[in-house]
Chain A
Amino acid sequence: MTAERVYRLLLRVYPRDFRSEYGREMTLIFRDEYRMCDTAALTFWVSMVWDVAHSAMSMWADVWIARGKNYTRTVEVVMKFAGILAASLGVFGVLNAVAEGVAMRGTLERPPLLGVVLGGAAGVLLIAAGAAVVRSTRSARNTATIALVTSLLIVMIVRLTHPWMSELSELIGIGLPIALLAALHWPRRRDDSSASPA
């Protein structure tokens, strides 16, 4: 096996993109260095292996930092959609509470006024939480957390006082705030925009 082939094998430790972009040039340099080498073969190979080892680690670090940034961006986009969904469902909740209140006013049964009012309040809180999630700042995150916890408590009170609450309402009123709270407080990597100096 020639020295150049051994070096080409060593190049396999680099990330694929880096290798395909610079592998040929690096092999040319290796060939030049090998031809002009004025040190012992062992010294030469030790320096080459050392160079490959520490530069490959650095290249892989760059790859993982880039992947981390992509992951952070994806999470941000998903959270914005979740915020818009929460706000939309909040609007739906408020409209639904108003409609129920209006529809039950003329019936013999006394309108479940507390349930309607609390349902409307939970909807307003979902709108506030959704808007805060979309803003995605630290203070907005705290606002969203408070709004979601309060909305969750209200819906649970409504569920206890009015057991005929529909499954869809339970899913929206209880499942959504829990899912959003989990997503907001799930430990995630910080966007490290201060990559190592050039």
Chain B
Amino acid sequence: MTGLAVDGDSAPTAVGQSQATATATAASIRLDDIRCAYGGVQAVNGVSFEVPAGAFIGLIGPNGAGKTTLLDCISGFNRGYSGHVYLGGQDISRWAPHKIASKSLVRTFQTPRLFRGMTVMSNLMTAPPRQIGETIRGAIFGSWKDEEQKNLVHAREVAASFSLQRVLDNYCSELSGGQERIAELARTLMADCKAILLDEPFAGVSPANRVRLAEHLVRLWQELGVTIIMVEHRLEWIEQLCSSVQVMANGRILASGTMNELRKDRQVLEAYLGAAP
């Protein structure tokens, strides 16, 4: 666990950038010349980079840079692109989202997408993949109760680690914005993932909850060794959490490196961080 020490909205004072030990379950992500256009707008224009297994990288850029579109392309929510996406060496280009998720690449969304008419516990219990009771035969004739019990124990453990025990029986529509973010991350963890795409996980979260969320992310990365790509506008969190950063502008990768290196990059300063002095 890294020594996070953040007070409210201020920048983190301790940096945890040690590379997580990539476990055998982590998967690399490689993008090869991804191009995607909406009408006449080229949202993503020839993006190529590789994220090694177990790495935690940041994806930053001004509004409209194409970050969320790129995540949509990787996760299958946008299949109208050219180029190739590889997960652990396997070409998953233009696969349907559920098929990509079944390969253990899961994502969160810019606005949390919880099953709002279901309780937090039901949300967590929905996530485990390939449940015996999810087929007609399994549901009617199968003995899914044992698996359900195991998932239940796991869900309670995950809920405890995310301090969600008190809201487990609440409908997700009753949660605060910060709780929704945490519940969505907890649900992602139940999905047995090898790689995670996080789309602005700190947006709309209170300062106190941001710290908790960051702790969860670090623990997720370090203990499970999953590969993480995080889109985020709050650069202090990118600096705090990510081992390297890709900067996007106008659909292209403008630069990459650590935040310290990027701060010295004139193009980045002009495009994203503000005009050079």
Asked if A and B bind, the verdict is: no
